[in-house]
């Protein structure tokens, strides 16, 4: 998905979208921990001021996803702010 393209869209009434995602289980969460953190920040930067963002995974997290990456994902979200 192209997050930047979606973040620029609005509802039919002109309200900003609420986007659920955009953490990819097959790519981002199986990558390096620093890539997970960078992807969280990238998503925030793209959506800031354009759309609301609910961090969610793209699919079910399977056992082959490193637990460290899941922890870093949530830790990064919790430590960040929209200020």
pTM for the structure as a whole? 0.86
| pLDDT, position 14 | 97
Q: What is the pLDDT of residues 13-46, one digit of tens each?
A: 999 999 998 888 888 899 999 999 999 999 999 9
Residue 74 has pLDDT above 70, yes or no: yes
Across 41-67, average pLDDT: 92
pLDDT for the residue numbered 54:
92
- For the chain, the three-class secondary structure string (H helix, E strand, C coil) is CCHHHHHCCECCCCCECEEEEEECCCCHHHCCHHHHHHHHHHHHHHHCCCCEEEEEECCCCCCCCCHHHHHHHHHHHHHCCCC
- Segments making up each domain of the chain, as ranges: 17-75
Provide the percentage of residues in the chain whose pLDDT is more than 90: 75
């Amino acid at each position: 998905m192209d997050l930047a393209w979606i973040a620029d869209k609005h509802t039919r009434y002109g309200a900003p979208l609420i986007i659920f995602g955009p953490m990819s289980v097959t790519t981002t969460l199986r990558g390096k921990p620093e890539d997970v953190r960078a992807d969280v920040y990238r998503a925030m930067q793209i959506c800031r001021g354009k759309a609301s963002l609910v961090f969610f995974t793209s699919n079910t997290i399977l056992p082959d996803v490193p637990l460290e990456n899941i922890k870093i994902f949530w830790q990064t979200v919790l430590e960040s702010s929209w200020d």
